[in-house]
Amino acid sequence: MTISFFIIAAITIVGTAAAMSLKNLVHCVLSLTLGLVGLALLFLLLGAQFVGFTQILVYVGAVAILAVFAIMMTRSAEPMTNLPPASFRLSGVLIAATVFAVLAWAISSATRSLPSQSSQPEVSVNQIGVALMHQFVLPLEVIGVLLTAALVGAAILAMDETGASR
Amino acid sequence: MNWIVRNLWLVPVLPVLAAGISALAKRKSRVLAASLAIGSMSLSFLLSVWAFAHVLALRNSGQPSLQVFNFRWFQFGNEWLSLGWMLDPLTAVMLVMVTFVGLLIFIYSVGYMEHDDNFMRFFCFLALFAGAMLGVIISNNLLLLFMCWEIVGLTSYLLIGFWFSNPKAAAAGKKAFIVTRIGDVLFFLGIVWLYAQSGTLLFYDNGAGFLEHSAISHLLTQTTTTGICVATGIALLIFCGAVGKSGQFPLHVWLPDAMEGPTPVSALIHAATMVAAGVFLVARVYPLMSAHTGLADVITTSTALQAVTWVGSFTALFGAVIAVAQYDIKRILAYSTVSQLGYMMMGLGVGGVSVGMFHLITHAFFKSLLFLGAGSVIHGCSGEQDIRKMGGLGKLMPVTFVTYAIGMLALCGFPLFFSGFWSKDEILHAAHTWNISQAPFYMGAFAALLTAFYMSRQVFYVFAGTSRLAEEHHDHAHAADTSSHHGSGSPHESPAVMTVPLMILSAFALLLGFLGTPAWPWFQSFLEDAPVSVNFGAFLTGGMLPVMLSSSVIVLLGLTLGWWFFGRKPIESADAPDNFGKLSPSIFTALGNALYFDAIYGATFVKLTTLLSRISDWLDRWVWNGAVQTVTYTVLGFAHLDNFLDTNVVNSGFDEGCDTVSRSGKLLSMLQAGRIQGYLKIVAGALVVFTIFLLWKAKI
Amino acid sequence: MITFPWISTLTIVPVVGAIVLLAFGSRNKVLVRWIALAFSFLALVLTLALWHQFNPLADGYQFQELHAWIPALNAEYRVGIDGLGLLMLLLTSIVVPIGMLASWQIQQRVSLYFALVLLLQACLVGTFTALNFFHWFIYWELGLIPAFFLIKLWGGPKSAKAAMQFLVYTMVGSIAMLMSFLAIYLATKTFDFTELAHLAQSGKLMPAVVSTLGWHLFTPAHTAMVIFLGVFLGFAVKVPLIPFHTWLPSAYSEAPTGTTILLTGAMSKMGLYGFLRIVLPLFGVQMQQVLTPLLWLAVATVVLSAYAALAQTDLKRIFAYSSINHLGYCMLGIFAVVKFTGGDAALTAQKFAAMNGVYLQMFNHGLTAATVFWFIAMLEKRSGGLRGLNDFGGLRKAMPVFTGLMGIALFSSLGLPGLNGFIGEFLIFKGSFPLVTWATASSAIGLLLTAVFILGVLQRVFYGPLGEKWVHLPDLTLGERLTLVPLIGLMFALGLYPQFILGVVNHTAIQMALNLRNF
Amino acid sequence: MSPLSGYLLLSALLFSIGLAGALTRRNAILVLIGIELMLNAANLNFIAFWRYGPNPAALTGVMFTIFSISVAAAEAAVGLSIILAVYRHSKSINLDAMNSMKG
Amino acid sequence: MPEIIDQIFVLLKHWLMGYVPSLLKPVVSAILSVVPVLLAFPLLFAITTVLERKGLGRMQNRYGPNRVGPFGFLQPMADGIKSLTKEDIIPRTADHLVHLLAPVVIVIASFLVYAVLPIGRNMVIANLNAGVLFFFAVGSMVELSVFMAGWSSRSKYSLLGAMRAIAQMISYEIPLVLASIVVIMAAGSLSTVTIVNLQATYTGIFPHWYVFTPWGLTGFIIFMIAATAESNRCPFDLPEGESEIIAGYYIEYSGFKFALFFLGEYLGMFATSAMAITLFLGGWAAPFSFLTWIPSYVWFFAKLLALICAFIWIRGTLPRLRMDQLMNFAWKFMLPLSLINIFAAGVWHYMPAGASRWLVVTLVIAVACVLLSRGLRRNQWFHVRTYRFAS
């Protein structure tokens, strides 16, 4: 387990934890972006270059900005006035903790049976392209359709009524 | 088959037609009614005489005197029921007698009913009665006879109850009809039984009629399960019809009460014709009656005839005994009719058709004479009927007195001159020679004595002594509306239209006897189709003389006794006790009330029927209805039970179920609170549980 | 060639009449009455036409119509009449106008009343002409409904109870009958009377029924007997026989007199007709097995009802019991005919007589009873509803003509010879005496008792002193006399020359009796 | 502790942090972000299993992640536009306010 | 000899590496390859500022800065010192952390981009397999930092400026990517090094640069227009529109942070034009076969300077575009044209070489241009403008 894994993991956890707990929404989004960049680094660490860069391009580039725009548009950028009651937050955290405990227990009891070490698989963009076009051509098409439908839908939803009425 | 036989049906139909026309006529005119009735009656009389002459001619020419005309009435099954009429000496005699007497009574009643406002209806009923009576006489079919018989009963009911506003008259009418109806029902059963056995109801149907030898012999052979011969059984049932109609012993109660009707009615119906119908019926079916299984030569009377004789003789004695103690003038005559009918039945039973019929003819004349005489007396005494309130009318109403006396003597059978003597003597002679027993002879003789006694009592009461009528001018009104009062209070002679028929009848009462004297028995031979020859010697032969002598002695004894008790010193006042009654008051009052037979019947039969009717009504209301009610109540009970179960058990149970469901529904909806985080928590929880489960499963 | 469907038109005419009346509503009471009368006269004319065309000597049924109705159930619409049917039709078409005339005073809901009467007539015609059990039963049941309402809606104080009792009684009876016929249908798959009669005659009916039903706990004879009892109950209630008759007096007395005329004139004949048409041909054997108890029932009906009539004080109840008595005679005749005579020619001749007697008695009783009840209706109208025996007295003085005519009607019901009542009774007695001697003898008492209570009525109502109340009672109006004359005339005519009717029905009687020949 | 279990633990942690965020925060956008996070945790799992899985050449893990990222992007876009529409409609994006789908 | 000059830097590095202990070898090699790039491009930034100001001046018929140093060439030194000494003002309501972070992120993002660009033969910091994808991925972080800057300084002008900048950068990022896809399709690989090596070959004296193909030319033009938009320069410099919202998102910055923003902006410009050179103009390849003796990095920087002059030239001449024109132009002209261009490249790829291929592809692209521009012209309708928020 390399040092870099731990550093990046720490960055990601801090980012995500901050994203979930900060009061100011913009800070949350920014810390989220940090967390996601950390995640992208993890992908790179795991050797999936293409996925890492896609992750950065999609999440950091688009989703974060989208979130920020959403925050701007819904005027929730002001500092949070009233936090949800303690009991509500406590129960949420408690449940999350139990879920984590169970998953951890599951992982710890399961991974013993998997082979611990394997060589760094070399993957090139070319191979991904070929795989996309051959094995996964159907999902590609479906994703294409899905994305167009989603974006058109999002546009219509977000469009201002008065604009649509003309 | 000459004209008269073919058209014999005109005789009964003419009066009926007259009755119909007068009933339907719009204008209520007395002249029309009277003329119609009398006209039709006289026409019938002429036709009857023609028929009589025709029969005489046949007899003289030696041909069989019986002629029959049958016609088909209706078809049922493969056979036709045919009716018909016949003409034989018996019919001829009866036709003449009934039409002649009827005519006289019609004329008489014109006078008698002059003041009555229902004049038309009276004559209409009389005509109808006459028609029905003639129908009975000429019919050749027992069913046709029965039908006319019933119509006669109906008319007698109507005529008795003529003054219907008087409740006693209405009750008398009803009683008459019901009692005769009892006889008729048995008669009807006899007819039905006969029809079943012999297959025909025609008397004579050239060989096939049931009175002819073949049917009779067939009937004789049959015996019912109870052992009596069918012929006797049928004969007895038919005789019951006769008993009912002729007022013989058990069914005689209606005759005295029938006196409530107007006197001409009593005369016509209860003296001459209707009551005689019973005797005529027995005479008509005599061959059936006398049929017996014994050998042809030995004259053994069949059981039926024996029964007839016994009933006849007892009724004769019984009628006479009661007649002695009666006060109402017409009741005395009624009871005397009952006893005389008993004589006739006895005559038929012992002597055969001719003996009975001769007495019937003679009796018809002098009894109708007596009744009409009583009628004129009542008419004279302005409706008074109680002999105790009369007296001394001999001088006031000489013609009535003389004719009445002749009738009385004829009735008692005063020797030699009076018809009653000969006819009664025939009967007594026959009874004397009866081989079964002499009891009927003695009963007949004693009845003759009593007849003489009570008739003399009546004559002395009415005609002798001083008139007791003056004491009570306004006696209790006989009937609210009978307006037979005359202006003057004292009794007076009736008008000519009433007295002339009396004279004619008295003449006949005298002369008729000579037709049937033993010396020249024309009448008997006429009936039996035997040749007749004058034979004065007959008196001496066959024990005729002693019987004649003994009967004349009895009559004279009776008359002297009557004179002794009533002639010598007639009672002074109306309410003085009867001289004879003084001897034994208790017996006398018993006899006065007709031995309480009315009360006995009332107590027994009437009470029984009312009781039975009440029982059946009770049965109806409670038993059958009760059963239905119980069913309905049980059903209602079940309904209520079901209702109870329904509301308490099922409903409440169901409601509980509903509540629990709705409550749990509310609980469940809590989950759907709309808070998204809530759902997420649940999902997370589920995830936890699921993974634990998987792991746990994987571990084992 | 298409023959004119006489019978169907005869059935439909009253129904059309009823509909017209209902449509008419009760605005103009008089007009409604005349229309109703017109329709019933139309029916009368049709019946007379039928009577004219009827060929008395032909065997079997005439004017037959056969249409398939429900092929699955093998239920055809088959109508046809023989002598008996024709007689009953004539009776119905005479009685219904009388009923209408008697109910001329009905004021409330006039059109509904007359519509129901016409409907009842239609059902009666249907019952007397149907030859297939299926639609015969429908008419039989349908007849109940108008009768029920007629009694209930226009009846006297206790009419509701009486109507209900009437309905429940007859309903129970008909249900029992329906059960039996279903059993038969199961076995023979046919509702047709003639076929069933043939089967019964050839002795195959009952074994077939027993085999299909297969009630193990009963022997074959018992099963057949049970089925016979079901049908017998259905008709016994309708005739009625003694134990099942309690509905009649209350129904007759509570119903408006017009309806009573219909009930006594025509509906009571349905029971007898049922016996003659259905029970005799089908269940001859069973009836012979239980003949004695049946005879006891008939005698009881005659005698007990006569006694009960004596005890009544209400005029209508008296004549209700008297009609039970008269129908008792018919039952006596029917049971006599059933007796096993083993082909003896003489006795079969008696059977013909008894059968003719029953037909005649049915017709005469219908006619006489209807007239008597009409008189009572007129008396009721005049006296304002009073009809107790003790309420009147000496009416003869006030209304001589009324008394005269009613006297004739009463004597006809008494069975006085010369009037129509006598012939029927004579034939029944003549026929049944040799066959069932003791029963006939004992029911002769009935004759006597009838005389007693009728004369009782005459004496208490018409004779005796005239009560001051009734002094100014009006006598018969010209209209009433005109309507009465034909009836009284018919009574005399039938009394004097019954061949009018016997000529027509004699052949049917022979056929029916022969069909009963013992097998 | 093998590298794979490390990654798995990390992704589990990320997943539960995302879940905690989604459960606790009341702002719709933040819940959306939480969900995004959970999705990314899943992607990490894929890549981890692809990397240390038995047959890395099959590229399924990578492919899956690529598709998952694109789907997540589409979902984020639609989610945010819905939030925008809701906001424009009810002027607040507090999750508790949007409970009109209440049972 | 030309190869040695060409590879002088590479050899230098290998030589230095020899002295480094094996443990530190990876770190040192990384430093050695990164530091020269970090030095070279800020230097270029300094030169460009001067060049730009003097060039604009010349265009506007004036001299431009000539006081500092000979012909004003030391002006950047002065500007640098000025920015360092200026007071660093942070608005009171600003979000301190994010305010501070914004310029740092923008500079880091800009520098990260150069890792992939091949300056010379074998002179690339990281020869990533998905080089172009890396370039765009990191490029997109710039928008985020712009937002951080705009939002954190809590002022309307900065926020508005940030929003406009982000909207513009996102809209033009898509045509930028699509234009590069054409080349990737032709080259068959995402790695910048292989793309350049492919273009470094010659047929006759003409190099195989992609720009000399119809789709290549259109791709290059689209790329350059998108690049100017990406870096908010000249016709697309609405966010900094001085007349409307003063200085856009970096209005509240002063002092050194303002300088960093400026540096970030220029580095962004150099990076995109360098990518343009790599993709279309053959990177470090000589224009003609006979000129290959000049070292590769010289060609690279020469082409770079040419593009910078073009930018400056454009800045001087074209007026500023309005927001909706800018948007329409991006979404209704650039995007469809680039898609068609990809199509055309596809057609080119499958058709046999020769004049027909040239004719068909140019025809397709020409027709598309005419129609799309007609489309732009047609729905220009003049009507009363409705302001969404202002109203």
D2 vs A contacts (CB less than 8 Å): 111, 114, 116-117
What integer pLDDT is reported at residue E302 of this predicted model? Answer: 92
Distance from C250 to chain B by nearest Cα, in Å? 10
Would you call E45 an interface residue with chain A, using a CB distance cutoff of 8 Å? Answer: no
**What is the ipTM for the molecules in this complex?**
0.53
What integer pLDDT is reported at residue B470 of this predicted model? Answer: 56
Interface contact B684-D19, CB threshold 8 A: yes
Distance from D101 to chain A by nearest Cα, in Å? 19
Q: Identify whether the C-beta of residue B321 lies closer than 8 Å to the C-beta of residue B313.
A: no
Q: How confident is the model at residue E177 (pLDDT cuts 50, 70, 90)?
A: very high
pLDDT of residue E391 exceeding 60, the answer is no
Residues 6+ apart with CB under 8 A from B537: none
For residue A91, give the chain B residue with the closest CA: B681
Three-state secondary structure of chain E: CHHHHHCHHHHHHHHHHCCCCHHHHHHHHHHHHHHHHHHHHHHHHHHHHHHHHHHHHHHCCCCCCCCCCHHHCCHHHHHHHHHHHCCCCCCCCCCHHHHHHHHHHHHHHHHHHCCCCCCECCECCCCCCCHHHHHHHHHHHHHHHHHHHHHHCCCHHHHHHHHHHHHHHHHHHHHHHHHHHHHHHHHCCCCHHHHHHHHCCEECCEECCHHHCHHHHHHHHHHHHHHHHHCCCHHHCCCCCHHHHCCHHHCCCCCHHHHHHHHHHHHHHHHHHHHHHHHCCCCCCCCCHHHCCCCHHHHHHHHHHHHHHHHHHHHHHCCCCCHHHHHHHHHHHHHHHHHHHHHHHHHHHHCCCCHHHHHHHHHHHHHHHHHHHHHHHHCCCCCCCCCCCCC
What percentage of chain B reaches a pLDDT higher than 70? Answer: 93
- Summary mean pLDDT of chain C: 85
Q: How confident is the model at residue E10 (pLDDT cuts 50, 70, 90)?
A: confident
Distance from B662 to chain A by nearest Cα, in Å? 29
Nearest to C356 among B76, B173, B632 (CB): B76
Q: How confident is the model at residue E75 (pLDDT cuts 50, 70, 90)?
A: confident
Position with higher pLDDT, C215 vs B664: B664
Residue range B455-479: average pLDDT? Answer: 66
Q: How confident is the model at residue C224 (pLDDT cuts 50, 70, 90)?
A: confident
Q: How far is the C-alpha of E134 from the C-alpha of C55, rounded, in Å?
A: 120
Q: How far is the C-alpha of B412 from the C-alpha of B407, rounded, in Å?
A: 9
B672 vs D contacts (CB less than 8 Å): 101-103
Interface contact B684-A95, CB threshold 8 A: yes
Number of other CB atoms surrounding residue B98 within 10 Å: 28
pLDDT tens profile B136-155: 998 888 888 998 988 898 88
Q: Identify whether the C-beta of residue B95 lies closer than 8 Å to the C-beta of residue B52.
A: yes
| Cβ burial C320-338 (10 Å sphere, 16+ → b, else e) | bbbbbbbbbbbbbbbbbbb
Q: How confident is the model at residue B541 (pLDDT cuts 50, 70, 90)?
A: low
What integer pLDDT is reported at residue B204 of this predicted model? Answer: 83
Nearest to B192 among C310, C429, C452 (CB): C429
Return the CATH number of D3-97, one of 1.10.287.3510, 1.10.10.10, 1.20.140.10, 3.30.1780.10.
1.10.287.3510
- Least confident window among A149-163, B184-198, E20-34, E213-227: A149-163
Interface contact D30-A104, CB threshold 8 A: no
pLDDT tens profile C110-154: 888 999 999 999 999 999 988 888 888 999 888 889 999 988 888
Domain residue ranges of chain D, discontinuous segments joined by +: 3-97
- Least confident window among A115-129, B392-406, B503-517, C191-205: A115-129
A69-83, B8-22, B558-572 — which one is most confidently predicted on average?
B8-22
- Least confident window among B397-411, E43-57, E366-380: E366-380
Q: How confident is the model at residue A80 (pLDDT cuts 50, 70, 90)?
A: low
Domain residue ranges of chain E, discontinuous segments joined by +: 2-378
What integer pLDDT is reported at residue B469 of this predicted model? Answer: 67
What integer pLDDT is reported at residue A37 of this predicted model? Answer: 93
Q: How far is the C-alpha of B294 from the C-alpha of B283, rounded, in Å?
A: 21
Position with higher pLDDT, A102 vs A119: A102
D24 vs B contacts (CB less than 8 Å): 677
Would you call D37 an interface residue with chain B, using a CB distance cutoff of 8 Å? Answer: no
What integer pLDDT is reported at residue A117 of this predicted model? Answer: 56
The verdict on pTM exceeding 0.90 is no
- Least confident window among B555-569, C410-424, E210-224: B555-569
pLDDT of residue D12 exceeding 90, the answer is yes
D contact chains, 3+ CB pairs < 8 A: A, B
What integer pLDDT is reported at residue B488 of this predicted model? Answer: 42
Interface contact A65-E388, CB threshold 8 A: no
The separation between the first and the last C-alpha atoms of chain E, rounded to the nearest angstrom, is: 71
Nearest to D20 among A96, A143, A151 (CB): A96
- CB contact residues (below 8 A), chain D span 74-103, against chain B: 95-96, 98-103
pLDDT tens profile E342-389: 999 999 988 888 888 889 999 999 999 988 888 777 666 666 777 777
Interface contact A84-D26, CB threshold 8 A: yes
pLDDT tens profile B39-92: 999 999 998 998 888 888 888 887 777 888 888 888 887 888 888 888 888 888
What integer pLDDT is reported at residue E245 of this predicted model? Answer: 62
- Summary mean pLDDT of chain B: 82
pLDDT tens profile C417-446: 888 888 888 888 888 888 888 888 888 888
pLDDT of residue A118 exceeding 80, the answer is no
What integer pLDDT is reported at residue A77 of this predicted model? Answer: 67
What integer pLDDT is reported at residue E227 of this predicted model? Answer: 92
pLDDT tens profile E221-263: 999 999 999 888 878 887 776 666 667 788 888 888 888 888 9
What integer pLDDT is reported at residue E338 of this predicted model? Answer: 93
Interface contact D59-A131, CB threshold 8 A: yes
Q: How far is the C-alpha of B242 from the C-alpha of C347, rounded, in Å?
A: 29
C427 vs B contacts (CB less than 8 Å): 76
Work out how many CB contacts closer than 8 A connect B with D: 32
Would you call C252 an interface residue with chain B, using a CB distance cutoff of 8 Å? Answer: no
Residue range C102-108: average pLDDT? Answer: 82
Closest CA to C22 of C138, C118, C154, C153: C118
pLDDT tens profile A128-143: 888 888 888 898 999 9
For residue A92, give the chain D residue with the closest CA: D23
Chains D and C touch (3+ CB pairs under 8 A): no
A160 vs D contacts (CB less than 8 Å): 88
Residue range B513-536: average pLDDT? Answer: 75
- Least confident window among B15-29, C398-412, E21-35: B15-29
pLDDT of residue E339 exceeding 90, the answer is yes
Q: Cis bond leading into C281, ω under 30°?
A: no
Q: How confident is the model at residue B551 (pLDDT cuts 50, 70, 90)?
A: confident
Interface contact B616-C311, CB threshold 8 A: yes
Sign of CA dihedral B127, B132, B136, B141: positive
What integer pLDDT is reported at residue A164 of this predicted model? Answer: 44
- Summary mean pLDDT of chain E: 87
pLDDT of residue E136 exceeding 70, the answer is yes
Q: How confident is the model at residue C59 (pLDDT cuts 50, 70, 90)?
A: confident
Nearest to A74 among D8, D40, D87 (CB): D87
pLDDT tens profile C272-323: 898 888 888 888 888 888 888 888 888 988 888 888 888 888 888 889 889 9
Interface contact D88-A67, CB threshold 8 A: no
Residue E39 burial class via C-beta count within 10 angstroms: exposed 0-12, middle 13-18, buried 19 and up: exposed
Q: How far is the C-alpha of B462 from the C-alpha of B468, rounded, in Å?
A: 10
Nearest to D12 among A100, A151, A153 (CB): A100
Interface contact D99-B677, CB threshold 8 A: no
Query: Tell me, what DSSP letter sits at residue C72?
Result: G
What integer pLDDT is reported at residue E301 of this predicted model? Answer: 92
For residue E152, give the chain A residue with the closest CA: A26
Would you call B608 an interface residue with chain C, using a CB distance cutoff of 8 Å? Answer: no
Chains C and E touch (3+ CB pairs under 8 A): no
pLDDT tens profile B597-617: 878 887 788 888 888 888 888
C300 vs B contacts (CB less than 8 Å): none
What integer pLDDT is reported at residue B486 of this predicted model? Answer: 41
Q: How far is the C-alpha of B354 from the C-alpha of B376, rounded, in Å?
A: 33
pLDDT tens profile B635-659: 888 888 888 888 888 888 888 888 8
